[in-house]
Amino acid sequence: MGLVTDFPMVVNQTDTHHCDDSHDLTASVLPPILIIEMMFGLPGNLMALWVFWFRLKHWKPSTLLLFNLLLADFLLIISLPFRIHNFLTEEYWVFGEAWCRINLFMLAVNRSSSIGFMTAVAVDRYFKVVHPHHRINRMTTTQAAGVAGLIWAIVVALRVPLLTLDLLRQKGDFSLCRSFDSYEKTPPQIVLHNFVFVAEFFLPLMVLLFCTARIVFILYRRQLDKDRKVRRAVRAVGAIVAVFIICFLPGIATGLATVYIKRFHPADCVSYRLAAQLFTLSIGFTYLNSALDPVIYCFSSVMFSNVLKTYFNKLGLMEMKVRRRSTTSDG
């Protein structure tokens, strides 16, 4: 059931059934949410692609990182219609076993790569403000492409085991396409998938909070609160942290809560069902990242926001001030 679905079910390697994890609420609530996210995410990312590809004449390292975040979003946009259909049909997967693996793999790669590039952009802002003379700030576009390639390589290496596992399960007359399910013995691929799901939230979160705290500290210690470049860097990192928490915290919180209930209060089926349904519904937040990432582009790149402002000004929709480019903001 998508990237995060049924993570709570993989708790006890010998337990093949527990409380009935009915997802009636999911079938009625989640599809409209995902459709709305698709309606906002697709045009927003197409607009971003147009700006990056046709309007930005000078690419800098930070621009390249943001573009790779955009590519990660398109993995979700391609996969999302199949998940919407899956929920509308009460999880009856009709697209075959091969596409089930590929679909879940793409969703997993989207989550991991989005987190990876969000973190990379925040670290770039951190060095621009806190260590302005560090050699990392002299990184070329070619070197930034190497960093982006390394992030993709790590993400794919951690997620490719999903392609080696049959993820299509039979439940009566239904074929269920889920990242996780109950197993008599949990496959190593699922153990790795579980580990990555948790680690890729907490480790980047610590990095993001550290970068934010250090930038704010430097801002006030050096009395740079009136420096436009520094304030823009603070807003950029703040936007990344906000999108990160909004999109990925609900899944982790409800997933771990479900695991806790099943392991330490196995008889409390009411709480388990509630937590499991909230966990499943949390993918609505996870998939929201493709619709919110254009906000990161605007806060992180003066060039990107200037192109959009100029475009809206020409349309006569509103009058927006176009700012001069900032090296801190655009790297």
Find the CATH number of the domain harbouring 90. 1.20.1070.10
CA separation (Å) from 229 to 221, 234, 271, 323? 16, 9, 48, 11
Cα atoms in the 13 Å half-sphere on the side-chain side of 46: 8
pTM: 0.87
Taking the C-alpha atoms of residue 57 and residue 12, their distance in angstroms, rounded to an integer, is 54
Residue 153 lies inside a defined structural domain of this protein: yes
Residue 277 lies inside a defined structural domain of this protein: yes
Containing domain of residue 116, as a range?
7-330
Q: What is the pLDDT of residue 99?
A: 94
Number of domains in the chain: 1
CA separation (Å) from 142 to 54, 145, 205, 249? 20, 5, 27, 34
Q: What is the pLDDT of residue 298?
A: 84
Residue 2 lies inside a defined structural domain of this protein: no
Q: What is the pLDDT of residue 197?
A: 93
CA quadruple 138, 227, 301, 312: dihedral sign: negative
Q: How far is CA 41 from the centre of its chain?
A: 13
Taking the C-alpha atoms of residue 73 and residue 155, their distance in angstroms, rounded to an integer, is 14
Residue 1 lies inside a defined structural domain of this protein: no
CA separation (Å) from 126 to 92, 112, 121, 133? 46, 21, 9, 12
Taking the C-alpha atoms of residue 228 and residue 248, their distance in angstroms, rounded to an integer, is 30
Residue 65 lies inside a defined structural domain of this protein: yes
Q: How far is CA 109 from the centre of its chain?
A: 9
State pLDDT tens for residues 232-268. 788 889 999 999 999 999 999 998 998 898 888 888 8
Within 10 A of 300 (CB to CB), how many other CB atoms are there?
29
Residue 12 lies inside a defined structural domain of this protein: yes
Residue 48 lies inside a defined structural domain of this protein: yes
Q: How confident is the model at residue 101 (pLDDT cuts 50, 70, 90)?
A: very high
